Every structure is written in C-alpha cells, then in structure tokens.
Amino acid sequence: MFTVHVGEADPRFGNMLLEQFGGANGELAAAMQYSVQGINCENMACKDLLMDIGTEELSHLEIIGTLARMHLKPMKKSADAAEHDPLIAIAGGGGVALCNSMGTSWTADYLKITGDLDVDLHSNIAAEARAKIVYERLINFCDDPGTKEALQFLMTREITHMRAFMQALDSLGKGPLSIGIIPPTPDIVDQYYNDSTGQGDQGEVDTTGPWNTQEGISVVEAPALSDFQVLKATPKAGRTTLNNGKARVTPGKTKR
Amino acid sequence: MFTVHVGEADPRFGNMLLEQFGGANGELAAAMQYSVQGINCENMACKDLLMDIGTEELSHLEIIGTLARMHLKPMKKSADAAEHDPLIAIAGGGGVALCNSMGTSWTADYLKITGDLDVDLHSNIAAEARAKIVYERLINFCDDPGTKEALQFLMTREITHMRAFMQALDSLGKGPLSIGIIPPTPDIVDQYYNDSTGQGDQGEVDTTGPWNTQEGISVVEAPALSDFQVLKATPKAGRTTLNNGKARVTPGKTKR
Amino acid sequence: MFTVHVGEADPRFGNMLLEQFGGANGELAAAMQYSVQGINCENMACKDLLMDIGTEELSHLEIIGTLARMHLKPMKKSADAAEHDPLIAIAGGGGVALCNSMGTSWTADYLKITGDLDVDLHSNIAAEARAKIVYERLINFCDDPGTKEALQFLMTREITHMRAFMQALDSLGKGPLSIGIIPPTPDIVDQYYNDSTGQGDQGEVDTTGPWNTQEGISVVEAPALSDFQVLKATPKAGRTTLNNGKARVTPGKTKR
Amino acid sequence: MFTVHVGEADPRFGNMLLEQFGGANGELAAAMQYSVQGINCENMACKDLLMDIGTEELSHLEIIGTLARMHLKPMKKSADAAEHDPLIAIAGGGGVALCNSMGTSWTADYLKITGDLDVDLHSNIAAEARAKIVYERLINFCDDPGTKEALQFLMTREITHMRAFMQALDSLGKGPLSIGIIPPTPDIVDQYYNDSTGQGDQGEVDTTGPWNTQEGISVVEAPALSDFQVLKATPKAGRTTLNNGKARVTPGKTKR
Amino acid sequence: MFTVHVGEADPRFGNMLLEQFGGANGELAAAMQYSVQGINCENMACKDLLMDIGTEELSHLEIIGTLARMHLKPMKKSADAAEHDPLIAIAGGGGVALCNSMGTSWTADYLKITGDLDVDLHSNIAAEARAKIVYERLINFCDDPGTKEALQFLMTREITHMRAFMQALDSLGKGPLSIGIIPPTPDIVDQYYNDSTGQGDQGEVDTTGPWNTQEGISVVEAPALSDFQVLKATPKAGRTTLNNGKARVTPGKTKR
Amino acid sequence: MFTVHVGEADPRFGNMLLEQFGGANGELAAAMQYSVQGINCENMACKDLLMDIGTEELSHLEIIGTLARMHLKPMKKSADAAEHDPLIAIAGGGGVALCNSMGTSWTADYLKITGDLDVDLHSNIAAEARAKIVYERLINFCDDPGTKEALQFLMTREITHMRAFMQALDSLGKGPLSIGIIPPTPDIVDQYYNDSTGQGDQGEVDTTGPWNTQEGISVVEAPALSDFQVLKATPKAGRTTLNNGKARVTPGKTKR
C-alpha cells in the first residue's frame, strides 16, 4: 500500500481530471465496455478476463473520482475556482459528476460492444491505447507530485490491459483480418482507391506506403467521385446502379 | 461498373440498413473519424491514407443511403410499413435520416479521435472490424439478391481498410505496446489482478490464459476490492491513500 | 442461494427488460447515482451507506443484464425476433447493450447528484420509488416464472433501499423542509398561486387540498399570467420589473 | 409588484444563471415535469396542483431568462465577455439559449415522469429540494443586489412547492413505503447487505445507522461480491443461478 | 368551443402522435423556439408576436399531449399494445413523455435561436412549414374522426403562424438576402460551383435551374474537389492555402 | 487560388471556430442536411442542386477544420492554452474534433430533413441565414487578417447558397404558404390569437403589425389560456373538449 499526499487543490486540473472519470475514454467507459462484453461472452476464459479487467476499471473510477473531488472542492466557495467548471460548482457543489471536462454527461454512445468476441477485443485494445495517451497528457499538465504518482499507476495498468487483450485475441487463433464468417470478395479486397487527389501548394503529391505499393494491390484512381455521380441516378424506383470503383474512373482525372 | 437490381422494397430491412447509414459503426462514423484524424495528422503519408479512406467511406454513405431510401419508401403511404419506423414515416416522409435503426440521431460521440497517430490507427482497425461484422449481419437478414450484392461489396472494402490501417501502424515502426512517450512503471505493469473471484453453480473456477500464466506475470488476488475500501477514507482534506494493488489483499480471500 | 430456471427465451420481453439495465431508472443509474454521491459525501456513516447500496445495485446490473441476454439471444439468428430490437440484433448480435427498450443509450443526464447530502437522499428516495414501480410493471408483463422470481427479488430490494435512505435522512435531524442554509422569505413562502384557472367542459372547477386550504396559506389568483406580462417589458437595458405574485393580479380574473 | 434594479451586467454570473434556465434542475425541467405529469394524472385534485405549479414554473423560466439575458448581453461585442460562454456569444449573439452553464442543451432526460401519482410526487419533492440548493449557490456567487432579490424570491417558491407536494403525497393516505401494488418479499426486504467492506488508512471501520441496526434488520456480509461470482456461470443457455445474498458469503471476508 | 369525440384508443397511432408532442418539429419545439427568441428580442412589436405564438404553441402542446395520452393508455395493461412503445408502457405506465415516436427524449438541439431577429424569423417560417407537413402525415395515418378534426385545427394554425412570421420579416424592410451587416464579397457571391459531376446510368447529366443559368452567375466546375486537395498541404505550421474555387480547377475535369 | 497566411495561433479563437466545424449551424450540419435531402429528392434538378451545395459544404468543413487546427495546436503543450478547451487539449491532443465551442459533440438532431422538397428548401434558406450570421460574428472576434479573409470567403458562399435555395423554391411554382396538400381550415386560419396580454412597467401595451391588423384577420383575445383550462377536463376516458380559441375567452380579460 502506498499513500498519496495530494498537495494544494488545483481546480483547473481537477476539471481536466474529469476526462478520466466521466469522459469518452475514461474509467467508467472502460469498466462498462468490458463488463457488458463479459455478460455477452460465451468463451469462459475470455469472460473471466473481461470481468477481471472490468472490475479493476471500476476501482480506478473510484480512485480518479476521489482525486478529482479533492481538486474540485474549492469550487463550492470560490467564484474564481468555479469559473473553471460552473456546472460542478453550481449544480454539484464542488462534487464530482459523471461528465467530462466540458460538462458533457457520460453516455453509453462511447462504448463499443458488438457481441462478437474478436471484434470486441480489437475495440478493447484501441480503448486501452486511448486511455494510456489521455493519462500521459494529464501527467504532463499536472503539478502535484502525489497526484502524478497516482496517474502514473493508473496509466501503467492500461498497458497491462492492452497486452492482455492482445494475448486474448491471439489465443483465439484466427488470422488478423479474419472477422466473422463471410469472406470478402477477391480482387475487390485488393484494390486501393486513391480518392483524395491533387497537388497541394507545397507541391506535395500523393504519398505511398505498404497499403498502396505492396505486391498484389491494384491502385484505382478516384472511384469515390464516380460512385458519387452514379448514385444521383435512376428515376425508376427500385433500381439503381452502383459503381464497383473500377470502370467509371473519369479519364483525365490524373495525379499531378 | 455493375448494376444493382433492387427487387421489392422491404421496409423492415430498410430500417435495419440505417445502422450502416447513421448508426454507431456506420459509414458516416467511418468517414468522419478518418477525415478528422486526417486534418489533425502531421505524417504526410498517413494523412493521405486517412483522406483516401475517409473519402471512400463518404461515397459508401451515399450508396447505403440510396439503398435504404428504396426500402423505406413505402412508409410514406402505408401505416403497416410505417410501424417499422414511425420516425422515418412521419417526420421523414419515408426518406432516410441520419439515425440508426432505433431512431437515435447520429452523434460524434461515436468517434474515436485522439490527435495521436498510432492510437488513432488502433481505433481505426477496431472500427473496421466492427463495420465488417455489422455488414455480415445485415447480409444474413437480407432477402433481396441485389441488395445483398451491394452489401457484400461494402463489407469487402472494410477488410481492405482494416489491412491498410494495420500496414500503416506497422510502418510507424513502434512496438505494439508503445503508446505515447511516458513508459509504464515496471513490476506494476506485469501484475495481473484477479478481481472477479468465486465459484459458479456449474463448479467453474477462475480460468487461465496467456494473460495470467505467461512467464513474468504475477497474479494478485482481488486488489480492486481492497482499493475500494481504502478510498472511503481520510477525513483530512487533501490526503488520501491509494492501494497499489499488492499490499492490501485481504488475507483469507482465496479462490476455490 | 437459489437457482433461477429461465424457460423459453422471449425477445419481446427481453427488450422490455433493458429498461432496468440501461434505462433511466435502471440499475446502472442507481449504482452510479449512489456511488458518485458516496465519493462526494463527507458524512462517514452516510458515505458507507451510499457505497453499500451503490455496490449492491452494481450486482443487480449484472443480474438483469444476464436475464436480458438470455431473452434477447434469439435475435442473432431470427429476423422476426430481431424486429423487437433491431439495434440489439444488428449492432449487438443479440447481446445486451447499455440502452433502454427504445434503443436510447444510457446517459448520466439521468442522475441526480448535487453534492448536498440531504438533497441527495431526497433524490434517492424518489429513485427507489421509480425503480420499484418499473419492476412491478415488468412483473405484470412477464410470462416466465423463473424470470418473475428474479424480478420480485430485485423489486423487494428497492423497498429496502428506499427505507434505508428515509432513515438516513431522518438521522440527519433536520426538518423536512430544511434544505441548505438560506431561509425562504416569510409570507411569500405561504402563498399558493392558482395559476391554472377556468372551467372544464364537465363543469369541474378548481380543486382544493391541504396545499391551498391549510391554515396560514393565502391563495393568490393567477399571478403567473401577470408575471408573464411584466417581463415583456423595459427597453432600458439593465432594468426589469418582477412581479412578486401578489400586486398585479388582474382584477376580474376569477374562478367560476 | 416590486421592481428589480439590475446593476452592471456580469457575464460570468449570467453564464452561471443558465443552470436555472436550461439546466438539469432548472425552471424548464420543473415546468415540464409537473405539466406532463398533470396531463397523465387521473386524480383531479392533484392534476390541478400539478398544473398550477407547472404554470408557475413556466413564469419563473421567463424571469430567469430575462435576468440571464441582461447579464449575458455584453458577450455580443466583447471577446473577453464571450470567453465565459462562446456558444452564447457566437451562436446566440449574447442571447439566452436552453442550455446549462457548460453549453449542454436541455434534454427531457432530466425529467422524472412515471405515470404513477405517488411516485411522481416523490420525484417532485426531490426536484424542489435540488432547485432550492441550486438557487442558494447562485445567491452565494451573486454580487448584484437586484438579481439577488429576484433569486431569493424564486428560491422561496421552491420551498412552497416542496411543501405542497409533501401535503399532496400525505393526502393520498398510503404508507411511506407503499409504492404500487405488489408487496415486497418478507425477510429479504429486511436484510441489509454490507457490500463495501474493509479498513481505511485512518483505521475507520464500517459505520452504523438506523438502516443496519434497527430491530428487525439482519445484516448480511458482502453478498454483492458473491452475486458477482455466481453470474459468470452456466454454459447451458436458458439457465442461470442467482444468489439471494445470504448463502454465498465468502468465509474469511470479515470486517475490521 | 367545439368538442372532440375520440373513439377507440389506437396505441399505434398514439405512438405516432408523440412526434408532435416531444418530437423535433413538435409543439414543445415551437413553443420554446419562439418564447426564447422573444426573451432575446429587442424589437417590441416582434417580441409581442413571438410571445403570442409561443404561448399558443404551449396550449397546443397540452392538446396534443391529451390526445396522445388517450391513445396510449391501453399500453399500461396490454402487452400487445405495449409493443408499439415499450418505453411509454414500462417506464411511463401508459402516460405521455417528452419523447418522439422512437423514444428519443426531446432536446433543445432541435431549436434554432440566434439572437438575430431576421435570421430567427427565417428559422420560424421553416419551422412552421415542417410542423404543417408533419400534421398532414398524421392526418393521413389517422382513422379516428375526432382526432382528425383536432389535428386539422392544429395544422391550420401552423399556416397562420407561417404567414405571420413572413409578414413580420417583410415588416423589417430588409432585402431577402440581407443578413447581418457585413456584405458578401462581390464576384465570389455570383459563382455557382458545380461540385457533383458525372453521368448516371440513365444517361442523365447535370441539370440547370435559375441558380446556375440566371444572368450574372458564372459556373465553376468542381472546385470543391480542388479545395480538398489543397488543404492536405503545408508542413509549415501556421500557413495554409485556401482555394477560392476558381483557379485550381483540374483541367480535363469536364462534364460528360 | 489565393493563399492564407495565418499569423500567430490564437487558441481562444480556435475554440470559437469550432462552432462552424462541429456546431449546430456549422459546415458539417450544412453538408449533411443538403446531401441527405438530395438522396431523398425525386426532383432531378433540385437533387443536383442539393448535391452540389452539399459537396461544397463538405469542402468548407475541411477548410474550417484546418484553420481551427492551426489555432488550437498550442493546447497540446500549454496548460494556459488548454484552459480554453480542455477537451481538445486532453482528449484531442490539440487536434480538432466534431464538437462545438462548448465541447458538445455534433448530433444529427441539428438537421432539418422532412422528405418534402419545398419544406426542405425553406429549412435550407433558414440554415444559410444562420450560417451567415455566425460567420459574421466570428469575423468580428477575429484578429488575424489571414483567418479573416478565409472567413469572409466562406461567409460569402452562404449568401450564394441562400439565393440558390430561394430560386429553387420559386422554381417549384407553388404559393409561399402552400405546404403539402391538405388545405388549412378557412376562418380559423385568419384568426390572430393575442395570447400574451397585460401591461409592462413601462406602460407598454400590445403591439401591432401586419400580422394582426391586415384586412381579413380577426383578433381573438387570449384563447390559449382558455384552451389550457378546458384540457384539464373530462374524467370520462376517450372524450375531451378542445377550444377553437373563440368561444371560451374569459370575460374581463382585457388589454390595458
């Protein structure tokens, strides 16, 4: 057990801390995403993992809430402190609420839950990456050593979770692009659509990367623009024409 | 170019299609997530990639909107059709709107944009996995061959994008757990907290996986519950005690 | 320990059950309202009470989620089942999500947290009353004996909590109308404003109750309408006239 | 009739005032909650009461809006004033909008309307308590005597309404715990679940109050944690085990 | 005074009616939009108009709420009726709530209030047009003569209001395109950007109308696509290039 | 092509710029409103117009996003800059997000799409008027000449669009009050209801304008208040009385 000595309350930083309490990538979001996925999960090993981490995130919610409460408390009495978060000051009396640093109430719209285990694990890996970077930014804006120490602890745990979800995904033994059951259509899956074309004022041109240069990939110029045209079509109800992104490329639409 | 022959309009299925038009994992969400990340991106190669795919998703938004429009159109005149989506029928006159199958308006809360490139790429990989599984489910509920063909095309492209984002992430050359700059705290990062304990009615016990058995990982029993206790503490303002998850495990709290 | 035997899955009822999972008066709302109030609470006895009940509600969230999951599961494969909740079917694969029966995502806007203990206890008494009536309605629409038994258990606990919060409020030793510190203005506090006037088509007239007949209360006719008039006033910026509800009653505005 | 002399406009305070205009516990919330309950109400006496107070709150909405408008007006021209609420300044031209002090648009999610009269009256008592404490905090942050006088008037009326709703609830003649029709299960209703256990760093232990010491109440240790375990169970679809909170208490899980 | 005889309750239609109670273009939206604009309005004649119509819409809110309540009432007892709106049935006991036909809670995001009188009048004209068409669709789906008669009355009033707002706008004596104070840039204001190009499968081409054929208008081909390119630019922070939509048109980008 | 030279980054102004990126009247709202209307539109000429302008607005979204990004960028490193928008700073790393200046996420609730062409054109005219006034206010608060020039360009285009939508509405050849098909009820359509009555403290009385003085219009005193009374009525379910606004005016309710 270690003890955090929070120094002087910093209402401005307390307001920022709310990002990890009631924010989109905060601890409630993590706790709920994993716990609800766990309720839906039929793989017993992964269900246990989801519940373990979901429960840990709930305990983090309480840690971050307690830290934020300490920093926000002066808002009850000081109008200058209140200015950093009038909602917390007037409606909350200086107490925490499940909102972010701009007063937006937490919503389950933040969650990514699909009822498909490997898809959910992908979502969780990304969620942990986001939580990590948010903690890092909070640490960079934090002046109080005690608060900083607690944030470092919480940030560390996100990396632990990220690795665990990666290991769980690997343990399922599917290929990295194997999602669901229906296979993608050959050929179309290997086309790269170069949709944002043209030359910038610095003379920059389209860039390359493995995604459009790797063997087997065929680059198609600007099919999105063609799709656009086609869909404005067809007065006969019940019939439309979709562009597969290849045939209708406008000639003369070239890169420079 | 291929032509889709949409058969009889199916208002019930049209309502479901809205998930990919104005739903949480639909085409507008994809288009906006990548385009806004692209505006923020300072890596020119990845900015181009984000803009290419963002633009392609916008064209998909129009495809799915046109398909949904065809299936929803009878709602304008038929009260029985209207029952499947009274919002579309009464407020929209049988036209599409940017909402999901339950009438919830699209919100940018669905988006994951952090201003950190590798974190954003993780979010995009997960987003594509989600879009893929949603298209698969729509295909499974679809009776019309023409509509099915269009959905198969759109589903295929999600796999293309998922691979491209994976390649882009690899091209950055960072380790899979290397997020941001501040490193995690050693030891704590290698602890696995076994927070959801006990025996179920089928006699099942805690499960194992690489996440809690791999060499180097130390399992700690139920620290979240202990954290919980500690934080109820301390009447002296400005001082609290945080549990690092190791020392305060309640003796006698064992697995069975 | 008792065992629930859930019979045949009933997707229509599973959809209704979501009201107590991710609905406005459901278990997450209860758990979060009490837990966050507990973080803010400086009365150690009441903090413990809030944490105890908040934690119990979290366990109920898991119970109701598991029940709903069982009833919703057929939505993954059956289009007819999916019709009862296309969001759960298409986006969730038949798994639960933190939304209500009409697909609205849970939001912290449902919570009532003021950072003032006795006000919060009033809010909690009301919250438990709401949760009780919702469980009662679910029981009335439920055909499955096992599910019904679980709902009866959960409904019972709300009454336990309601009583506990009433006892806690009493234990603070303040009068029932004593909220905060600033006293109300004498006389004005004892006026009853009869704002909705007139006679209905059944000949009904204004009604009476202790609120407008008790000794000490003076009834004022329709002051709201007068207030309305006054406030349209004053072209001189920085100056307005407010009606105290007494002087500007329109003569001739009488009850019949 | 009394006249309010608003002195110098104070944009920072004008922003705070929005809490009572378009905030969660503000005048629109009160007006709508009571009026809609009134539309649903079949008890003629209480319907009249709900309509009377609902109409009075509508007039308060106009008072608070006019006051806020006066304090916010400088935002149209001064960038420094605009900083306190850029939404009001840029989108609203210094005029009021139905949002709170952090720019969140008013939502009917704030309302508590159940269609059950005694439950609704409980919700209204709590709503008035919240409105009272918010007015008190605004008064504490207000420098202008005229504005303060108006707020004192509005605050006083909330106490009047709180008492009226209490009288209406009493007039229904039901017991304080009698909600709806279905009675709670005996015994279970008298159990207190001690879910948040352990010792804090100040040596504090679990606390007591009438809720866990009153004659007839039996205290059960930490059942929530046990419930949690049990629900992770059962691979056989359609069957789960619910813990009644008594039998599965983990031995060795004791209070200190 | 006329009397409406509502026949048999029709829960499906009652659910649809909610569009005009708590929906985006319903009576609360109208009442609030005009009343709040009225609070902000400094033109005394128009302030009176806004308050008159705002107050009338509030009375319509009560009419539509009472009608909806009658049609929704069977939901309290019948599970089949409840299926049309489980939120109203389970959470509301068959009473109305401020939500639309798909259960979305009313939000002030629906409102258009800018603090600029002539802009607000434009918004109000459009709002009345929307309300009119929604009433028309409800009438088309309504089987009950009494309900229909009430809807016809309400629909008629929207036309009255639409005309009044048009007259008010005319009475301000500004030109139809004269918004605010800063004039638009000459030449640029007279360019028409032909951004959606190409040929559909029916051979259709770009269409013409007064907007791109009227004397004085110059058509520019596809500048949006060029803008798009340019903005991907500039590694030097603090410097970008914006396309005025004329110079950077890609040669060869022609209509066919 | 012209080049914008953005000078020193101004985070406070960058925050304000978000109103036109992810705000209620911003570029995404415009782009989506017109594009989705275009998908629904069956008039080929107007569909093309809607698509042209919708696409142009999308390019403006990118312009405004790039400008805002430049001004917000210092938030990543400076806590003082971060104070102007902690959400952008902590969650976004100084990058733009689809939210407004108060951190509210963009929502499709901002959009007005009815599936009726002339109604939609009315909504679009109003939308352009709002966008124009918002740009004007941003220009007034902007210190940087380069940014100002870009805003002037964007503001100008809104006037172009406003005129185009007016021309399109005229081209449909319907009368200005001709919405939908069902005609309003004669006589009732020509009544003006004088609902907000009384005398203010400046002695002001009801005002007049063409809306209540034009030949053919009959003024009815305060019918809304009477409607209000009537609707509290009728214990017999399934029967209510609606006031046509004429017969039930309370005698003695006069103007002064």
Residues of D in contact with F25 (CB under 8 A): 91
Q: Where are the beta strands (DSSP E) in chain B?
A: 2-4, 191-194, 218-221, 240-242
Eight-state DSSP code of residue A152 = H
CB proximity list for F136: less than 8 A, separation 6 or greater: E179, E180, E181, E182, F155
Q: Please name the residue of chain F whose CA is at the shortest distance from the CA of residue A131.
A: F91
Is residue C195 predicted with pLDDT exceeding 60?
Answer: yes
Neighbours of D208 (CB within 10 A): 12
pLDDT at D108: 98
The C-alpha of C157 sits at a distance from chain F's nearest C-alpha, in angstroms, of 35
Q: Are D108 and D58 in contact (CB under 8 A)?
A: no
- Half-sphere exposure in the Cβ direction for C173 (13 Å, CA): 1
Question: Which domains does chain A possess?
Answer: 11-171 (1.20.1260.10), 183-256 (no CATH)
With beta carbons under 8 A apart, name residues in chain E contacting A228.
196, 198
Residue pLDDT tens, chain A, 256 long = 446 778 899 999 999 999 999 999 999 999 999 999 999 999 999 999 999 999 999 989 989 999 999 999 999 999 999 999 999 999 999 999 999 999 999 999 999 999 999 999 999 999 999 999 999 999 999 999 999 999 999 999 999 999 999 999 999 999 899 999 999 999 999 999 888 755 444 445 578 899 999 899 999 886 654 444 334 333 333 444 444 332 222 222 222 2
CB pairs under 8 A between A and D: 62
HEC profile for chain D? Answer: CEEECCCCCCHHHHHHHHHHHHCCCCHHHHHHHHHHHHHHCCCHHHHHHHHHHHHHHHHHHHHHHHHHHHHHHHHHCCHHHHCCCHHHHHHCCCCCCCECCCCCECEHHHCCCCCCHHHHHHHHHHHHHHHHHHHHHHHHHCCCHHHHHHHHHHHHHHHHHHHHHHHHHHHCCCCCCCCCCCCCCCCHHHEEEECCCCCCCCCCCCCCCHHHHCCCCEEEECHHHHHHHHCCCCCCCCCEEECCCCCCCCCCCCCC
What is the per-residue pLDDT for A221? 80
Closest Cα in chain C to D207: C45
Q: Which of E23, E84, E201 sits opposite B91 (nearest CB)?
A: E23
Q: How many residues does chain C have?
A: 256
Q: Between β-strands A2-4 and C218-221, what pairing exists: parallel, antiparallel or unpaired? A: unpaired
Per-residue pLDDT, F245: 32
b/e per residue A38-56 (b: at least 16 CB within 10 A): bbbbebbbbbbbbbbbbbb
Which residue type sits at C72? L
Distance CA(D229)–CA(B196), nearest Å, equals 6
Length, in residues, of chain E: 256
In total, the C-beta contacts within 8 angstroms joining chain B to chain D are 74
Q: In the numeric block, which tokens belong to residue C147?
A: 């599910």
Q: What is the ipTM of this complex?
A: 0.88
The residue whose two tokens read 């169970």 is D233
- Least reliable range by pLDDT among B225-239, D26-40, E122-136, F202-216: B225-239
Give chain A positions within 8 Å (CB) of B56.
Answer: 193, 195, 223-224
Backbone angles phi, psi at C249, to 5 degrees: -60, 130
Q: Which residues contact B130 (CB under 8 A, 6 or more apart)?
A: A112, A114, A119, A122, A123, B25
E partners (3+ CB pairs within 8 A) are: A, B, C, D, F
Give the pLDDT confidence score for residue B220 in this predicted structure: 86
D192-217 mean pLDDT: 73
Mean pLDDT lowest among C204-213, C222-231, D153-162, F216-225:
C222-231
Integer Cα distance of D36 and E106 in angstroms? 13
Q: Which residues pair with E99 in a beta bridge?
A: E105
Are C85 and B100 inside 8 Å of each other by CB? no
Which residues are A220's β-sheet partners? A193
Which chains are adjacent to chain A, needing at least 3 Cβ pairs under 8 Å? Answer: B, C, D, E, F
Res. D230: pLDDT tops 70: no
Query: Is residue E203's pLDDT more than 90?
Result: no
Q: Residue F192 forms beta bridges with which residues?
A: F219
Nearest by CB to residue A115, choosing from C22, C95, C116, is C95
Give D229's contacts in chain B (Cβ within 8 Å): 196-200
CB contact under 8 A, C229 and F202: no
Question: For residue E23, what are its two tokens?
Answer: 């929906």
Dihedral pair phi/psi, residue A99, rounded to 5°: -135, 170
Q: What number of residues does chain A have? A: 256
Residues 6+ apart with CB under 8 A from B146: B4, B5, B6, B7
Indicate if the pLDDT at residue C100 is higher than 80.
yes
Distances (CA, A) of F49 to A233, E129, E194, E209: 14, 21, 8, 9
Task: State the nearest Cα–Cα gap between A151 and chain F, in angstroms.
Answer: 14
∠F200-F206-F209 over CA atoms, to 5°?
Answer: 145
- Give the tens place of pLDDT for each residue, B111-166: 999 999 999 999 999 999 999 999 999 999 999 999 999 999 999 999 999 999 99
Give the rounded percent of residues in chain D with a pLDDT score beyond 90.
71
Taking the C-alpha atoms of residue A157 and residue A155, their distance in angstroms, rounded to an integer, is: 5
Q: How far is CA D228 from CA A120, B169, B195, C21, in A?
A: 22, 38, 10, 15
Quick one: closest CA in E to F134, which residue?
A: E114
Quote the crossing angle between the two packed helices B27-40 and B117-140, to the nearest 10°. 170
Give the model's confidence band at C197: pLDDT under 50 very low, under 70 low, under 90 confident, else very high.
low
E202 Cβ partners below 8 Å, 6+ apart? A233, A234, A235, A236
- pLDDT bin (cut points 50, 70, 90) of residue E223 is low
Non-local (6+) Cβ contacts of B80 within 8 A are none
Residue with tokens 């009889």: B8
For chain B, the C-alpha Rg in angstroms (whole number) is 25
D85 phi/psi in degrees, rounded to 5: -165, 80
Distances (CA, A) of C185 to C190, D149, E131, F163: 9, 10, 44, 56
Kindly indicate the confidence band of residue C7, based on its pLDDT and cuts at 50, 70 and 90: confident
Chain A contacts to D (CB-CB under 8 A): 1, 3, 38-39, 42, 44, 47-48, 51, 55, 76-77, 79, 82-83, 85-87, 89-91, 93, 99, 102-105
CA separation for the pair B36, F66 (Å, rounded): 9
3-state secondary structure of B38: helix
Å between D234 CA and nearest CA of chain A: 9
Sign of CA pseudo-dihedral B134, B140, B142, B148 = positive
Q: Which of these, F203, E159, D206, lies nearest to B232 by C-alpha position?
A: D206
* Identity of the residue numbered C167: Q
Strands (E), B131-204: 191-194
pLDDT of residue E56: 92
Residue A212 dihedral angles phi and psi, to the nearest 5°: -125, 10
Q: Which residues of chain C lie closer than 8 angstroms to D59, CB-CB?
A: 195, 223-225, 227-228
Tell me, what's the pLDDT at D223?
61
**Cross-chain residue pair A91–D134, CB shorter than 8 Å:** yes
Contacts 24+ apart (CB under 8 A), E162-165: E162/E125, E162/E128, E162/E129, E162/E132, E162/F177, E162/F179, E163/F177, E163/F211, E164/E49, E164/E53, E164/F192, E164/F211, E165/E49, E165/E53, E165/E121, E165/E124, E165/E125, E165/E128
Largest Cα–Cα distance in chain E? Answer: 72
Would you call A79 and D12 a contact, using CB atoms and an 8 Å cutoff?
yes
Euclidean distance between CA atoms D150 and D5, whole angstroms: 10
Instruction: Check C234 against F198: CB less than 8 A apart.
Output: no
With an 8 Å Cβ cutoff, the interface of chain D facing chain B consists of: 196-202, 204, 225-226, 228-236, 240-241, 248, 250-254
Does the pLDDT value for residue E162 go beyond 50?
yes
According to DSSP, the β-strands at C218-221 and C240-242 are unpaired
Phi-psi domain of E12 (left: phi exceeds 0; alpha: psi -120 through 50; beta: other): alpha
A72 touches A6 (CB < 8 A): no
Cα–Cα separations (whole angstroms), residue E152 to E20, E159, F179, F226: 13, 11, 14, 19
For residue range F147-190, what is the model confidence (pLDDT) as tens digits? 999 999 999 999 999 999 999 999 999 989 999 999 999 999 99
Nearest CA in chain A to D235: A42
- The pLDDT of residue F220: 86
Q: What is the mean pLDDT of residues F179-208?
A: 77
* pLDDT, chain E, mean: 85
* Closest-approach residue (CA) in chain E for C83: E83
**E46 to chain C, minimum CA–CA distance in Å?**
11
Residues of chain D in contact with residue E20, where contact means CB-CB under 8 angstroms, are: none
Is D234 within 8 Å of B202 when comparing Cβ atoms?
A: yes
Q: What is the mean pLDDT of chain B?
A: 85
E strands, chain E, in order: 2-4, 191-194, 218-221, 240-242
Cβ contacts of D168 within 8 Å, gap of 6 or more = C209, C210, C211, D45, D46, D49, D121
Residues E251/E222, Cβ–Cβ less than 8 Å: no
**pLDDT > 60? residue D205:** no
Place E237 in a pLDDT band, splitting at 50, 70 and 90: very low
Q: Structure tokens of F104?
A: 């509210």
Instruction: Spell out which chain E residues touch chain A, with contact meaning CB-CB distance below 8 angstroms.
Output: 196-202, 204, 225-226, 228-236, 240-241, 248, 250-254
**pLDDT band, very low/low/confident/very high, at C198 (cuts 50, 70, 90):** low
Smallest CA–CA distance, residue F216 to chain A, in Å, is 44
Q: pLDDT value at position F223?
A: 61
Average pLDDT of D224-247?
39
